[in-house]
Structure 1
Amino acid sequence: MSTVAISPDPLRDSIEPVIAQPAIIRSAQDVSRIVNAGAAKGSNARVVIAIALGGVFLDAYDLTSLAYGIKDIAKQFALSPVQVGFVSSAIAFGAILGALFGGYLTDSIGRYRVFMADMLFFVVAAIAAGLAPNAWVLGAARFLMGFGVGLDLPVAMAFLAEFSRVAGKGNKAASVAAWCPAWYAATSTCYLLILGLYAILPAQQLGWLWRLTLAFGAVPAIAIILVRSRYISESPVWAANQGDLDGAARILKRTYGIDAIVERTAAPTVRPRRASWRNYGVLFNATYRKRTILAAVIGSASSFGYNAIIFGLPVIITSFFAQGPLTTIVASLALNLLFAFVGGLIGVRTAPTVGAWKMTVLGHALQFASLIGLALIGRPSGSALVVAAILLLGGYLFGQGFGPGSHSMTFASLSYPTWLRGIGVGFNQTLVRTASTISLFLFPVLAGALGTKVFWVIAVAPLTSLLVLLAIRWEPSGYDIDGEDYLQGESVERGTIRAEG
């Protein structure tokens, strides 16, 4: 069959496919070029991307599922604000450790093995959380669930990046950015489930609402386990980077619909790239230091602010706007669908054209303005101010959707080549989940002490990220990061290449 081959060239928006018979593979660089050109029509590459996004969906559902029920949990288990903070942040704390080990394992044993294993954490943890007899068991189950989230995100981002073309519609940046609407779709699904359960449960049984919501997380996890074993494969670029060109050729045939022939060379130009704990140090060499700092700041600032807002959304609507449970659920759902989800779709659409840097700057600017507006309004006293405050909340979520929500992962995933990507995303997520843990722990405490003045504190996060973005203008969309790595050769590992200006 006809296949895609690519001529070597510069690193940005440079991959132009031509028809060849057949594709010849002599090195990992050849495999990367084939992948960068895009899969053949009718291949399974898009299915792999969809399954990876399914993992992201589950991550978001599990992180969101406790948000509405936390007040009932606090009441049922007689928790203090500090204890509520510990229960709320347990999942993020688990994700810190999961990301640290998950990033290394993703690069060490491969994307496929980690991806096939981590769903078990979600199944066990979701059922245990739903049946928790006390806050200690609930916190432990949420910690285990968080560990699964930490494992899943580095491998999911690797799949999204390594099964997509480098330029044009649906490029790597757009595929990675798709994690954002998938995330918000999961958040909205969570609220839809809560709404449905609220409608059918008798009033005296509403205490079961949070248990059913948490336990339901096992259902999509089981579905993903059943589906992905049929369609998902190892990343061909990762296999090639490990020196397994024959395995990469088989994956290209199965997943990309591309026939490839391995042609051996007497002396490979680049030796296989093995995972090592020392690679965490490579993140801060001359080439990657600025990118690592930028991705870390964007991700941490985005996570700190978003987790405070999205976790506190039911509390904000109920307490600040004096609304009942049904209005709270409907308003939270509407804000997620109309603002966050739509913003996420815009982020995906504009990734190949406008780029990640500009959209992140615009998103953070809108978030900062929205939080300042909420802080100035305080507790709304009239219907006009209530509407204004809700619209400002929507503005924050909209800016999150098309800006840092979409592209925090774009910067974290596409700033590093394949052999370093798992560790890069894992390190980034370790910092991001640390920010989440702090945010989830502090928000109930700060909201109780400061009321609506807490928005002044949250506003520091997007402002900090804006300043760093203006200082480091790195655009990952359309950039062939693996091509850069192959050009630099083994000097990348020694940390001797010159950083970009």
Structure 2
Amino acid sequence: MAEPPGTTPVIRSQQDVNDLINSGRAKGGKSGAITFIALGGIFIDAYDFSSIAFGLKDITESFQLTAFEEGAVAASIMIGALLGALVGGYLVDRLGRYKLFMADMLFFVVAAIACAVAPNFETLTGARLLMGIGIGIDFPVALAFIAEFNAFRGKGSKVSLWQPMWYLATGSAFLVLLPLYFLIPEDAHDQLWRWAVGFGAVPALAVMLVRHKYMDESPSWAASQGDLHRAAGILRRSYGIDVRVEQPQQQAKQDRRGLGDVLAEFGRLFSPRYRARTILAATVSFCQSIQYYAVGFALPVIISGFLHQDRLTSILGPLVFNLVFGVLGGLLGVRLANRLGSWKLSASGFAICLVALVCLGLLGTPEGTWPLALSGLLLGVFVFFHSYGPGAQGMTMATLSYPTSLRGVGGGFGQAVLRVGSMLSLLWFPTLSASLGTGVYFAVAAAPVLGLIVLALIRWEPVGVDVDAEDAGEPAPAPNHLIGKEK
């Protein structure tokens, strides 16, 4: 309930805390820094995913790997992320955002160093698996922090910020490689990947220290546990706002649920209220992951294989595609998120990516300057509109479609489905590209087609919907408020 202007806000329930934040009355303080620090975690996630992409062929040759073992190196981080997302998403809701947010950084620091000095295939694969577990935990908790520390009207754009941050980090991996290419003797270029992967420990350690100094628990989560006094303390420290707690005597802190209830929590995602949202968010996450890891992640392979360019170009090309097309496309999506919503951004992005993939398949292997330039332009268009639309919106939907009590599980499930898509893409893209050549673009085009079909069938729009009210037992919001019209 809103208080008269100039009076001290009163909180009597979790919904009062949510209303205080969503209304924008709680603003300033450390909330902006908390959003930025959460995005710092996304930066580490993306850097660690992409830093090894450049060196996969060198790793295969150095360790004399079979095709299966090469796929295992690439996919191990995805398997870890899948496990981390499923278990971590549940623990985020059970233990709180802050504890998991601090613990997962240790995975990054230890795993990055272990990858850099790995003497064999087994050590490298194990370290990548550990790194993936950290990423799987970190991703849903980072987006939950952003959603729960920002006002109602800004949630869509703030959560979508993870996508340009992803491309900034991916480009940074190649930015680290560029000076090393000139500083390290040519006969040691097959070890460049060790430097790029090991460098990931540096920003991870920095983010961990900054998190320890500035981060706090989510006030919405604390209130959801029945601890309104703790929520009031967080509001004071994070926003500089004093509130008065009027907690009914019978409202005790909720009992912790046992790990045996995890299946019941995931089952809630498919209850009548949330089923359509879960299917839509999972499908967008799955399809965007398929197309990204087949094309965006594989840019070094595409540039050296399909476009027949040298090692330096396979560094410079992804650097430009990620830092220019990826970051700018993501920023445009952020700009339009609150105006168009996740559904329209996903649909339009998938449609343009589909056209780009079909054109790349029809163009085939480019011969000559102009066909090569056209192939580069089409790849840039793909990266731009993937980042602008579906690249961000699967996880944005998974974060904003559920109330605080279910946000960690929902985000974790969305992240898990995303990782299934990435594993499939990493495993079958090399095989299909070897047998189909550039015709593999037609196979990848099935992903945006599936995404568009499901979007046409389920027209749920989470941006601008107060889903946190559902924790208070209020009716489910109408799903189509931004579809078919602009705010």
TM range (shorter): over 0.9
Give the TM-score normalised by the residue count of structure 2.
0.94
Matching of residue 119 in structure 1 with residue 105 in structure 2: yes
1:288–1:499: 8 Å Cα contact kept in structure 2?
Answer: no
For 1:197, give the aligned amino acid: L
Pairs aligned (count): 476
User: Cα RMSD over matched residues?
Assistant: 1.8
For 1:231, give the aligned amino acid: Y
Give 1:104's aligned residue: 90
Matching of residue 222 in structure 1 with residue 205 in structure 2: yes
Give 1:211's aligned residue: 194
Structure 1, unmatched stretches of 5+, are: 8-17, 490-496
For 1:344, give the aligned amino acid: G
For 1:248, give the aligned amino acid: A
Aligned counterpart in structure 2 of residue 386 of structure 1, from 354, 372, 376: 372
Structure 2, unmatched stretches of 5+, are: 481-487
Question: Cα distance 1:51–1:273, how it changes in 2: closer, same or farther (>3 A)?
Answer: farther
Displacement of 1:395 after TM fit? 1.0
Aligned counterpart in structure 1 of residue 352 of structure 2, from 366, 369, 373: 366
Give 2:49's aligned residue: 63
Matching of residue 247 in structure 1 with residue 209 in structure 2: no
Displacement of 1:310 after TM fit? 2.2
For 1:316, give the aligned amino acid: I
In 2, the alpha carbon distance for the partners of 1:127 and 1:342 equals 32
Aligned counterpart in structure 1 of residue 464 of structure 2, from 474, 478, 481: 478
Give 1:81's aligned residue: 67
Give 1:140's aligned residue: 126
Aligned pairs for 1:173-322 (under 5 A) are 173-265=156-248, 272=254, 276-277=261-262, 278-322=264-308
Give 2:428's aligned residue: 442
Give 2:408's aligned residue: 422
For 1:148, give the aligned amino acid: G
In 2, the alpha carbon distance for the partners of 1:39 and 1:48 equals 17
For 2:288, give the aligned amino acid: S
1:35–1:164: 8 Å Cα contact kept in structure 2?
Answer: yes
Deviations 1:446-501 (A, max 9, x none): 22222111111111001100110111111111111102432438xxxxxxx79968
Matching of residue 337 in structure 1 with residue 323 in structure 2: yes
SS in 1 for 2:59: helix
In 2, the alpha carbon distance for the partners of 1:352 and 1:499 equals 17
Give 2:485's aligned residue: none
Give the share of equivalent positions with the same residue, in percent: 48
Matching of residue 22 in structure 1 with residue 44 in structure 2: no
1:184–1:340: 8 Å Cα contact kept in structure 2?
Answer: yes
2:461–2:479: 8 Å Cα contact kept in structure 1?
Answer: no
In 1, the alpha carbon distance for the partners of 2:2 and 2:304 equals 57
1:194–1:209: 8 Å Cα contact kept in structure 2?
Answer: yes
Question: Cα distance 1:498–1:194, how it changes in 2: closer, same or farther (>3 A)?
Answer: closer
Displacement of 1:429 after TM fit? 1.1
Displacement of 1:99 after TM fit? 0.4
In 2, the alpha carbon distance for the partners of 1:207 and 1:39 equals 55
In 1, the alpha carbon distance for the partners of 2:88 and 2:152 equals 25
For 2:248, give the aligned amino acid: T
Give 1:92's aligned residue: 78
Deviations 1:195-232 (A, max 9, x none): 12112111122122000111111101100111111110
SS in 2 for 1:351: helix
1:112–1:234: 8 Å Cα contact kept in structure 2?
Answer: yes
Give 1:404's aligned residue: 390
1:107–1:420: 8 Å Cα contact kept in structure 2?
Answer: yes
1:39–1:45: 8 Å Cα contact kept in structure 2?
Answer: no
In 1, the alpha carbon distance for the partners of 2:200 and 2:457 equals 41
Aligned counterpart in structure 2 of residue 346 of structure 1, from 329, 332, 335: 332
In 1, the alpha carbon distance for the partners of 2:72 and 2:188 equals 26
In 2, the alpha carbon distance for the partners of 1:460 and 1:221 equals 36
SS in 1 for 2:10: strand
Deviations 1:4-40 (A, max 9, x none): x747xxxxxxxxxx73410101010100001112365
Give 1:492's aligned residue: none
In 1, the alpha carbon distance for the partners of 2:254 and 2:334 equals 33
